[in-house]
Structure formats: structure tokens, C-alpha cells
Amino acid sequence: MRHLVLLTAFILTLLVSCADNQYSDKEIELQANSIIKQLDKSIIETFIHWSYGTRGEAEIWQKLDTPTYGCYYFNKGILKLSVGLIENFKKDFPYSINIDTSIVHQISFKKINEEDINVSALTNFGRDTILVDKMKLKNLFIEKNPFIEFAKLSKLKDNLKIIGTFYRPDLGNFIQFYLTNQHVLTYFPDTLEINPKFKDNWIGYFSTGKKLNKNWNLRKLEKPLDNG
């Protein structure tokens, strides 16, 4: 849970980096209603498992349930995945090479072309080290290709036109979708649960918004989020 809290806070801080405030409140409400129409049960379930944010050209995807890990996904030009909590990532996407996790804390998989991949690592001493200069992608990820998974996630957020999400099961079972750095669309399941310790605060936040239907609330923050 400690990793979940720290990584989620990190995502929430970074998700605003690409946001802007160029849209009117009316346009945002139209976007929110469009999203609501698209978000069926399976898509909502996706954002219970995955949280999304950005930093520069990187999409940041955080796996929220077990095994927890975070990935920087670069899909502009050369495709690359940079992964922390390597052993957790390996449980979802087993790879065939051996990596000494006692000296490595981040690993990067970069596609050279459709078939070949380069693997590098960032050591605990801050050095970038090439582990594999060139290898067949299918020979590295024999069971499951992570690039396919993250391409699907990326396409999903593009279709929804969101800049980030926020889900913390320790706070409640609602999900927040950031449409801009000031507009937040919140999903409430039929069986809404909020941690009693924070319930009054969250109810206060939600009361400032507009109820779009029984499961959705759209609110505008007093001040835009700022990642400093």
C-alpha cells in the first residue's frame, strides 16, 4: 500500500503537465457527457487497475493493483517503455533475460524496429547500461508483449480525451477523470464507499460540482492544478 500511495501521489502531481485551460465550461460539459456515453463497465474497470498521467512526452501508467509498478511509455517516434519495480512488472510481462535487481532500479525497453528491441538499465549508481544491444522482441517477451498492452491503454485515453485519472481505494471507490487541469469528472459506483475519515471533505468537494446523472459529477476547481 505504501508504494500505491507514493506512486499515486506522483501521478497526480505529473498529470497536469500537458493540460491547458483553453476550453469553455460548456465545451467541457459536452466533453464530459461524451465520455460518460463511452465509459461502459469494462472501461471503468480498466481505470480501477490503471492510473494515467503525463510528464513531457511520456505517458505514465501506474498499475494500481497487485503487482504494483509504474511505466513511462513513449510512443512519439521511437517506442520505449521505462519501468520501475522491475520484479513486479515481470510478473505481468515475463522476459527471458536475467537482470540483477540488486544493482538496477529501472529498465528500458526500446523498439529498434517492428521485430527487434534494445534493453538498457539505470543502475543504483545512476549509470545507463546497455543490457542487450539487439534482440528479437518475440524472444524477449515470449508470453505477452507489453507494447501491445500499453498501445491499447494509450488509444483508450486518446479516445476519451483525458489528461489524467485518480483512483485511491484507501480513500474510496470513486474514480476521477481530469479533463483539463481545472475540470474533474468523477464516477460514483452505485455502491459508493468513502473512507469515513475523509468522507466529509470529499462530500464537500463533490457538492461544488454539477450532477450529470446519478453516477457522474463534474466540478471545476477553484484554482488550476499546478505541478510547480
Instruction: Please tell me the total count of domains within the chain.
Output: 1
In a domain, 168, yes or no: yes
Tens-digit pLDDT profile for residues 163-212 = 999 999 999 999 999 999 999 999 999 999 999 999 999 999 999 999 99
pTM attached to this predicted model:
0.84
Whether the CB-CB separation of 210 and 219 falls below 8 Å is answered with yes
Tell me the C-alpha to C-alpha distance, in Å, between residue 90 and each of 98, 107, 121, 122, 144.
Answer: 11, 11, 15, 17, 10
Alpha-carbon distance of 83 to 74, in angstroms, equals 12
In a domain, 27, yes or no: yes
pLDDT band per the 50, 70, 90 thresholds, residue 73:
very high
In a domain, 113, yes or no: no
In a domain, 189, yes or no: yes
In a domain, 174, yes or no: yes
Tens-digit pLDDT profile for residues 103-157 = 888 999 999 999 999 999 988 877 889 999 999 999 999 999 999 999 999 999 9
Q: In the beta sheet, which residues pair with residue 165?
A: 177
In a domain, 56, yes or no: yes
Cell of 97: 533475460
Range of the structural domain that residue 189 is part of: 2-68+160-220
